Structure 1
Amino acid sequence: MRASLLQVAVNEGESVDSRRRRVAAMVRDQAAADLVVLPELWTTGAFAYDAFDSEAEPVEGPTFEAMAKAASDAGVWLHAGSIPERAPDGTLYNTSLVFSPSGEPAASYRKIHRFGFDQGEAVLMGAGDALVTVRLPETVLGVATCYDLRFPELFRGLVDRGAETLVVAAGWPERRRAHWTLLARARAVENQAFVLACATAGTHASVPQAGHSLVVDPWGEVLAEAGPDEEVLTVDFDPATVAGTRERFPALKDRVLGLDRPRR
């Protein structure tokens, strides 16, 4: 299976419409891939809090339309990163979109863990409440977004729902890049799954982005890693490795469930 991670540069000075057209063209260029992955909030920038409200769009808005057509034109599965979604009741969400090779919507995921503590995304956006997996012909994707990466229980929940390849769209800051790599490898090892972690490049809202998107195998080995700038990271991997790893080293079978429940 071939995956292409599009490490999009989100810089001030480029309009959302212009970036949307540019990214759609990048997706169309990946017709040789099976799966294309975009980063988190690439239309606005994950730290551009002031733009969330003005640039928010319904799920089936202009980004949905552009990405659906790009996926269809390229004939690829497309994890189109995330957008600032405005729900019918006015609530904003950080929502990821997934499309089939025919351009049909395959899934959407509202980010569960919002970053910012008492500011930014944490107060401007609502929290999702549902785990999302997507079945591809070759593998089952588990969908997560940026700050979710710090919460291993979310990924274990995705594995319990059949996930073999964990896709993380992110706008991760450069100052915590060491955590980005460490956590992506940890999620791969503990879940014996591939991790496709796609981040933004550039600087938006005065926050330099980490870049360094990476693909990690079920043993925690980094198969490919991007640099700091805009880049297309393409890697071939064998999803069957997941089943083989879990069979040869069956650590998941030794899980002890219910440890978080009170004892009587």
Structure 2
Amino acid sequence: MRASLIQLTVSDTESADERRSHAAELVRGRAGDDLVVLPELWTTGAWAYDAWERGAEPVDGPTARAMSEAASAAGVWLHAGTLVERGSDGALRNTALVFDPTGALRGMYRKIHRYGFTVGEAAQMAAGQEVVTVTTEFGTLGIATCYDLRFPELFRALVDAGTEILVVASAWPARRREQWRILVRARAVEEQAIVLACCAGGTHSDMKQAGGSLIVDPWGTVLAEAGEGKEILTADVDVDVVAAIREELPVLQDRVLAIPAPPAGQAAAG
């Protein structure tokens, strides 16, 4: 599988239409790849909270149409990053879209873990409820977004659902870039899976982005890593190595589930 992560930079001076046009052009240029990935909330800016309401769109809106056409033109699977979705219920959600090489929408993941505590996503967006995988001819994709990285139980659920390739769109802040790198590699090692983690670069809404998109194998080895700015990161990845490593080191079979926790404030004996 040849994968490309398009590490976009989001400028406060660009319109959403300009961003869509630029992203579509870059995707169309990836003919020959198998899978292309974009970062989180690149049409509005992941930290531009005041832009989300006016920039929200349905899942069949202008971003989806542009990305569907670009995927079809390039003949690639496309994880189109995420957009601010306005659902039929009126709620906003941070939603990832996955298109196949014909441009058909094959997967949609609404971010489960919302960052911000009392502001941002936590205050303005509804949480997703479903674990999402997408079956392709080169392996099963498991979809997650940014802050989800801090919650390994989601990734274990994705592996239980058959995932071999974990795909993460993000807009991680630069001041926590080392945590980003650690968490991406940890998810690869824990789940014995390939991780394709595409993060935004540049600065928007006064928040410097980490960049540092990563392609990591199931041993936790970094196969490719981007810098801080706009960049296309490409690597050839052997998906068969996932099954080989899981057979060689079958740690997932030793999981022990539902261990009861001691009462709060009481240490376990032993």
If the length of structure 2 is used for normalisation, what is the TM-score?
0.96
Question: Which amino acid is 2:138 matched to?
Answer: E
Unaligned runs of 5+ in 2: 264-270
Give 1:70's aligned residue. Answer: 70
Runs of 4+ aligned structure 1 residues displaced above 2 Å come to 260-263
Shift of 1:257: 1.4
Matching residue of 1:203: 203
The alpha-carbon deviation at position 72 of structure 1 amounts to: 0.3
1:239 aligns with 2:239: yes
2:15 maps to which residue? Answer: 15
Q: Paired residue for 1:187?
A: 187
State the distance in 2 between where 1:49 and 1:245 align. Answer: 42
**Mapping 1:24-63, distance limit 5 Å:** 24-63=24-63
For residues 115 and 124 of structure 1, the distance between their equivalents in structure 2, rounded to whole angstroms, comes to: 10
CA distance in 2, matches of 1:199, 1:120: 18
- SS for the counterpart of 2:68 is helix
The DSSP-based 3-state class of the residue aligned with 1:134 is strand
Deviation at 1:89, TM superposition (A): 1.3
Partners of 1:260 and 1:209 lie apart in 2 by: 39
Amino acid at match of 2:220: G
| Residue of structure 2 equivalent to 1:152 | 152
Q: Deviations over 1:161-189 (max 9, x none)?
A: 00000000000000100000000000000
Which residue is 1:127 aligned to? 127
Aligned match of 1:136: 136
Residue 168 of structure 2 aligns with an amino acid whose one-letter code is V
* C-alpha distance in structure 1 between counterparts of 2:196 and 2:259, whole Å: 30
Gaps of 5+ in 1: none
Distance 1:260 1:30, change over 3 A: farther
The residue type equivalent to 2:30 in the other structure is: Q
SS at match of 2:235: strand
Aligned residues: 263
Aligned partner of 2:143: which letter? V
Q: Secondary structure at the match of 2:162?
A: coil
1:115-168 deviations in whole A, cap 9, x for unaligned?
000111111000000000001111100000000000000000000000000000
Question: How far has the Cα of 1:262 moved from its partner?
Answer: 8.5
What amino acid does structure 1 have at the position aligned with 2:144? A
Amino acid corresponding to residue 227 of structure 1 in structure 2: G
Alpha-carbon deviation of 1:261? 7.4
Deviation at 1:13, TM superposition (A): 0.3
Question: Residue in 2 aligned with 1:117?
Answer: 117
Query: Which amino acid is the alignment partner of residue 217 of structure 1?
Result: D
With the length of structure 1 as denominator, give the TM-score of the two structures.
0.98
Q: Which amino acid aligns with 1:138?
A: F
SS at match of 2:218: coil
State which structure, 1 or 2, has the greater radius of gyration over its C-alpha atoms: 2
Which amino acid in 2 is paired with 1:116?
G
Aligned to 2:267: none
**Do structure 1's residue 103 and structure 2's residue 103 form an aligned pair?**
yes
Supply the AA of the counterpart residue of 1:47: W
> What per-residue deviation string (whole Å, max 9, x for no partner) do you get for residues 187-237 of structure 1?
000100000000001111100000000001000000000000000000001
1:218-233 correspondence runs (5 A): 218-233=218-233
In 2, Cα distance between equivalents of 1:9 and 1:17: 15
Residue 258 of structure 1 deviates from its aligned partner by 1.6
Alignment of 1:160-175 (within 5 A): 160-175=160-175
Mapped to 1, the partners of 2:114 and 2:260 lie a distance apart of: 23
For the residues of structure 2 that align with 1:222 and 1:200, how far apart are their CA atoms?
18
Identity of aligned residues (%): 61
User: What root-mean-square deviation, in Å, do the aligned CA atoms of Structure 1 and Structure 2 show?
Assistant: 1.1
- Equivalent position SS for 2:19: helix
Q: How far apart are the structure 1 equivalents of 2:16 and 2:202?
A: 15
